[in-house]
């Protein structure tokens, strides 16, 4: 009996030993790849500086550009109307705020306005505009806009049809003369097959032009505030004041589209032909820009952060 049990146990042991043990299946755990962070420098926004019209108050634009340079805030494009076009073109020609400031300090009213009694009687304005164009030719050595060191556009108005005209090619001097042809002060300018007057008639702060040309962020400078003037004594004064009101009104809607709006304070009482307040206007531009610098950097950082996030693929 004991022998039989022993043999039975031995047989069972042999039987189980001969069976193949099935493999153990281990569940597959998916491998999660870490998001790939884009290599290289972070993206940079294309920043446009848009300079509005306002005649002699335009010296504030010089201060704005100087302060932006000091704050190391880059400018990738300039768009300007009227005096904004003039100041913008000077800067776009050599990218030096020091040279711009020096040129501005030397600029006098008689360099730009060739007033004459017969002009108003026989022509379409109190000044001919020849001096303005000649001055630009003598101080901006680059002949054509497309050859300036910085992308630039001046804005004018088609007098016949009321259209906004963007001048980003062709002679710099002619474009500036057209963009700054204040109605009643300068005669209209024939250019590119059109009759043109001051761009401020339709768009005194052409933010939309900068965005249409690819700007990611727009810093706009408004010098049209405070239109009050109780010292209007002649027809020229009437023309200038009417222009000032027109500029200020069309800015009200356009300026809402700016990413950063700089409005130099304390220059609202500067007359459109008062070239004696250069230093005051420049200083106002410097102070307003330094105050706006943190907001500009914040807007740049926000743009970079948004673009960086969008460049990281979803896991």
Question: Exactly one of 82, 97, 179, 224 is catalytic; which is it?
Answer: 82
Q: Decide: 195 and 159 in contact? Cβ < 8 Å.
A: yes
CA dist 198 and 205 (Å) reads: 12
CA dist 107 and 104 (Å) reads: 5
CA dist 236 and 221 (Å) reads: 26
CA dist 33 and 113 (Å) reads: 68
Could you give the angle at which helices 130-139 and 172-179 cross, rounded to 10 degrees? 140
Question: Exactly one of 93, 97, 179, 198 is catalytic; which is it?
Answer: 198
76 is a catalytic site residue:
no
Q: What are the E-state strand segments in the chain?
A: 47-51, 77-81, 152-158, 164-167, 189-191, 194-198, 217-221, 260-262
CA dist 33 and 261 (Å) reads: 44
138 is a catalytic site residue:
no
Looking at the DSSP assignment, which residues form a beta bridge with residue 195?
190
CA dist 220 and 271 (Å) reads: 21
CA dist 233 and 188 (Å) reads: 24
- Structure tokens given for 177: 């003369």
CA dist 263 and 174 (Å) reads: 28
Q: Please give the torsion angle defined by the CA atoms of residues 228, 230, 235 and 239, in that order, rounded to the nearest 10 degrees.
A: 0
Residues known to be catalytic: 82, 198
């Amino acid at each position: 009996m004991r022998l039989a049990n022993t043999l039975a146990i031995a047989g069972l042991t042999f039987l189980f030993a001969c069976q193949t043990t099935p493999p153990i299946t281990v569940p597959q755990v998916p491998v999660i790849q870490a998001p790939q962070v884009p290599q290289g420098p972070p993206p940079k926004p294309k920043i446009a500086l848009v300079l509005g019209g306002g005649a002699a108050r335009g010296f504030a634009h010089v201060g704005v550009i100087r302060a932006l340079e000091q704050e190391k805030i880059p400018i990738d494009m300039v768009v300007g109307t009227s005096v904004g076009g003039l100041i913008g073109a000077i800067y776009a020609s050599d990218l030096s705020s020091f040279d711009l400031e020096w040129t501005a300090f030397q600029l006098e009213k008689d360099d730009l306005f060739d007033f004459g009694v017969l002009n108003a009687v026989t022509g379409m304005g109190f000044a001919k505009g020849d001096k303005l164009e000649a001055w630009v030719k003598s101080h901006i050595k680059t002949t054509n806009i497309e050859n300036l060191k910085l992308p630039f556009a001046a804005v004018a108005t088609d007098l016949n049809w009321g259209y906004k005209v963007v001048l980003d090619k062709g002679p710099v001097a002619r474009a500036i003369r057209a963009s700054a042809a204040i109605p009643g002060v300068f005669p209209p300018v024939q250019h590119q097959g059109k009759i043109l007057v001051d761009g401020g008639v339709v768009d005194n702060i052409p933010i939309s032009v900068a965005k249409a040309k690819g700007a990611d962020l727009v810093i706009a400078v408004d010098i049209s505030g405070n239109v009050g003037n109780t010292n209007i004594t002649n027809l020229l004064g009437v023309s200038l004041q009417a222009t000032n009101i027109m500029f200020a009104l069309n800015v009200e809607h356009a300026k809402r589209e700016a990413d950063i709006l700089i409005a130099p304070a304390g220059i609202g009482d500067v007359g459109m032909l008062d070239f004696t307040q250069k230093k005051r206007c420049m200083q106002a531009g410097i102070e307003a820009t330094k105050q706006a610098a943190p907001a500009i950097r914040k807007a740049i950082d926000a743009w970079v952060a948004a673009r960086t996030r969008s460049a990281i693929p979803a896991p």
